[in-house]
Amino acid sequence: MSLKTMGRGALASVVSVMMGLGLTACGRDYTVGYVYSVSSQATAGLVNGYKVDYQQGYLVQLANSPLPSGGKNPVAVVASPDHKSIYVIHRDDSNLVHFLIGVDGKLYPQKTYNISGSFATDASIDASGKFLYVTYTYQNSLTFNPDGTVATQGQLYTPANPGPGGVSVFPINSDGTLNAPRNVNVGRNPVKISATNPNHFVYVVDQDAETNSNLFGFSQNSDGTLNPLPGVTINPGNVVSTGFPSGITPAGIIVDSTGSHLYVTDQTANTVMGYSIASNGVPSMLGSATTDSVPAGMAIDQTGKYLYVASNGAGAINGYTFASNGQPVRSSTVGSYQVGTGPTCLSFIGAPSSGEPTHAVYLYTSNYLANNISGIQMSPSDGSLRQIQKTPFTTNALPSCLVTVPAISGS
């Protein structure tokens, strides 16, 4: 029966069903969002882009993918809260590249920005979307001109002349472009950062073998710069700085959406530690739960009920619920879910709080040594995981991290 011969009520019912399934004229071609993975193969980095199938969560590589990341050895990729930009962080070039996201998910490179130190390690954007924070291994004491070019360089630390690291703080403009960075000094060998706390606190974990107090907390000023919290001592030169207890080799950090708890993975003890965050930002350890070997990145679903840890050494995802005080508790439904070899980063898409109508919640992990992405469907009722259709999805060699971005309504 054609639409012409349908009764008015029947036609309205069909339209209603179509809208409920997201099959309107601007239904994004069954695309609920996009996944961007950075690969550090050979001497130049690449970005693989995929659209996420609306019905089943499988990935379809974008037409212009892969494309050059704009530097050597990309180690991190972050997305802006407005879903219009991503930033790719390069370790070996000590820089980052800004990409705009087209309405079809394609990436368009814009500009390269130098950080204020050397050997970048991670990045995070604050909850307001106003500042991009990039951790780096060695301070160069650079100052910048308003156009972002280097004005002066002071003390230079290198592997041959080791010293402390720091954070480059880039103000973000409304169009996603960045202003010249400000510099914040931290301890030796910072590896991960979380700036997403809605209460304007920023947390960094170092891997300084001379201390097990490698968790550093800072309060955020209006210009994005940071002040150490009570209990944090940042020392100049090649000496120990001290923060809060963190385990011996912290490797991942995440703050929940309420800003009341944070979680840190420790690769020596194979644990994930939970902390409560006081009103002044100071974290207090609540307890820990075991992980499989070499835990790395983490993700919390958008309902805040479940925590997942990528166990790099086991090729698995470990699932957790939360005790009443926020301490992680090993899940009875997702003790150890196998993915590819060497998982690093985890990222969700499709949760109800994202505002996107979807049939499921999807979780993706970059598998560094398997050269692919695992796609998984999460059950909102109990946090259980199951493999989605066509997984795993091929990437270029050595995918170091990934990020998900929901499709913008109306695209």
Q: What is the pLDDT of residue 160?
A: 82
What's the pLDDT at 12? 40
Of 182, 104, 192, whose CA–CA distance to 146 is shortest? 182
Residues 258/298, Cβ–Cβ less than 8 Å: no
Tokens of 223: 């210009």
Residue pointed to by tokens 């109800």: 352
- Residue 360: per-residue pLDDT: 78
Per-residue pLDDT of the chain (411 residues; tens, 9 = 90+): 443 444 444 434 333 333 333 333 344 457 899 999 999 865 789 999 999 988 889 999 999 999 999 999 999 999 999 999 999 999 999 999 999 999 999 999 999 999 999 999 999 999 999 999 999 999 986 666 666 666 666 668 888 888 899 999 999 999 999 999 999 999 999 999 999 999 999 999 999 999 999 999 999 999 999 999 999 999 998 999 999 999 999 999 999 999 999 999 999 999 999 999 999 999 999 999 999 999 999 999 989 999 999 999 999 999 999 999 999 999 999 989 999 999 999 999 975 444 444 457 999 999 999 999 999 999 999 999 999 989 999 999 999 999 999 987 654
* CA–CA dist 77, 97 (Å, integer): 10
CA distance 164 to 236: 7
In this structure, what token pair is assigned to residue 278? 């006081």
Q: Retrieve residue 330's tokens.
A: 């090993």
Topology (CATH) of 29-406: Methylamine Dehydrogenase; Chain H (2.130.10)
CA pair distance 165, 117, nearest whole angstrom: 7
Per-residue pLDDT at 353: 43
Give just the sign of the alpha carbon dihedral 229, 231, 236, 240. negative
Distance (Å, whole) CA 386 – CA 379: 8
pTM of the model: 0.89
Q: Which residues pair with 178 in a beta bridge?
A: 172
Domain segments of the chain as ranges: 29-406
Handedness of CA 117, 180, 252, 47 (dihedral sign): negative
